[in-house]
Amino acid sequence: MKDLPPLRDVIARHGLSASKALGQNFLLDEQLLDRIARVPGSLEGARVYEVGPGPGGLTRALLRAGADVVAVERDRRCLVPLAELGEASGGRLRVIEGDALEVDEPSEVGPAHIAANLPYNVGTALLVRWLGGEAWPPWWRSLTLMFQLEVAERIVAAPGTSAYGRLAVLAQWRSAARLAMKVHRSAFVPPPKVMSAVVHIEPRPAPEGVSARTLEALTAAAFGQRRKMLRQSLKPLPGALDALADVGIDSARRAETLSVAEFVAVARRMGEAA
Ligand code: SAM
């Protein structure tokens, strides 16, 4: 890539004062951004779908790592600097203007890694979309996503912990999820109130005979009343208590004591019995 101006200059020149409404906290430290771009492994010649590039710090790191990037950004102010970056990259960056929750994802371009540093609500909504649904394997090869630390901990949580819940089961029943690195709040401009972390998720073969929808209904009921015994929390869900008994799980247990594999076994049995 040609010499690029420092990100601070790009921000000043294009008047990219961070917008609270758009959840903007920018990363400017190149070394940190390069470390994030290394989380998915080698990106040489790989495709990356980046959500929310902003002034383009992570985008630059992804391009430096050798990726071809398609990026979707809803803040129009960022489009000119991103177009300049696209030019400097020799055409390895394509920018889509729009809301990532509404645009068509570039799944047609073939397997792509996804990378994003997004506001909490948008990031979680997209995560749930990317991990959900019956179709598996998904179109993406991996997810490298920045979250506030507390959300990252919920994604990778183990049973028996207070962080363990629906998000952990969703992220782990047919994917491997790990906390790749913590990021101090002072790394962002402006700094958010809380600490952040990068989570990395890779799809795995889905367990056979389990419907994502049934598993989701099961965990929603179980964790909806997480302090209650399963015999209470699962009562409203047709077939759940029978399935629990069939797979030999004590209905006096609470949701947070069940492993991901146990949730999967109950959901599979519910599907068989339906
Ligand atoms: N990736 C940049 C970085 O690391 O410095 C910017 C991060 S900033 C936390 C989040 C970015 O996502 C902002 O540029 C914001 O405009 C963008 N954004 C927020 N909501 C979005 C949405 N629904 N669709 C696309 N981009 C969005």
Q: Atom 6, ligand 1: which residue's CA is nearest?
A: 54
* Strand 175-183 to 196-203 pairing: antiparallel
- 59 C-beta closer than 6 A to ligand 1: no
Query: pTM above the 0.85 mark?
Result: yes
Instruction: From 63, 73, 78, 121, give the residue whose CB has the most ligand 1 atoms within 8 Å, as the site to mutate.
Output: 73
Q: 3-state class of 217 per DSSP?
A: helix
Dihedral angle computed from the Cα positions of residues 72, 77, 78 and 83, in that order, rounded to the nearest 10 degrees: 100
- 178 C-beta closer than 6 A to ligand 1: no
Angle at Cα 143 formed by Cα 165 and Cα 23, nearest 5°?
80
Q: What is the mean pLDDT of residues 63-85?
A: 97
* Strand 26-27 to 188-189 pairing: antiparallel
> From ligand 1's centre to the CA of 217, what distance in Å?
31
Q: What proportion of the chain, given as a percentage, has pLDDT over 70?
A: 100
- 150 C-beta closer than 6 A to ligand 1: no
Check: CB of residue 55 under 8 Å from CB of residue 10: yes
pLDDT at 120: 85
Which domains are delineated in the chain? 7-203 (3.40.50.150), 212-273 (1.10.8.100)
> From ligand 1's centre to the CA of 251, what distance in Å?
44
Q: What is the atom index within ligand 1 of the atom nearest the CA of 27?
A: 5
- 123 C-beta closer than 6 A to ligand 1: no
**What is the average pLDDT value for the chain, to the nearest integer?**
96
Contacts of 12 (CB under 8 A, 6+ apart): none
Q: Looking at the predicted structure, is the pLDDT value of residue 28 above 90?
A: yes
Pairwise CA distance, residues 254 & 159, whole Å:
11
* Strand 196-203 to 26-27 pairing: unpaired
> From ligand 1's centre to the CA of 205, what distance in Å?
31
Pairwise CA distance, residues 120 & 117, whole Å:
9
The pLDDT-based confidence of 99 (bands split at 50, 70, 90) is very high
- 52 C-beta closer than 6 A to ligand 1: yes
The pLDDT-based confidence of 221 (bands split at 50, 70, 90) is very high
- 81 C-beta closer than 6 A to ligand 1: no
- 57 C-beta closer than 6 A to ligand 1: yes
pLDDT at 105: 85
> From ligand 1's centre to the CA of 138, what distance in Å?
23
- 23 C-beta closer than 6 A to ligand 1: yes
> From ligand 1's centre to the CA of 11, what distance in Å?
14
Q: Tell me: the pLDDT tens digits for 116-136?
A: 999 888 999 999 999 999 999
Q: What is the atom index within ligand 1 of the atom nearest the CA of 100?
A: 24
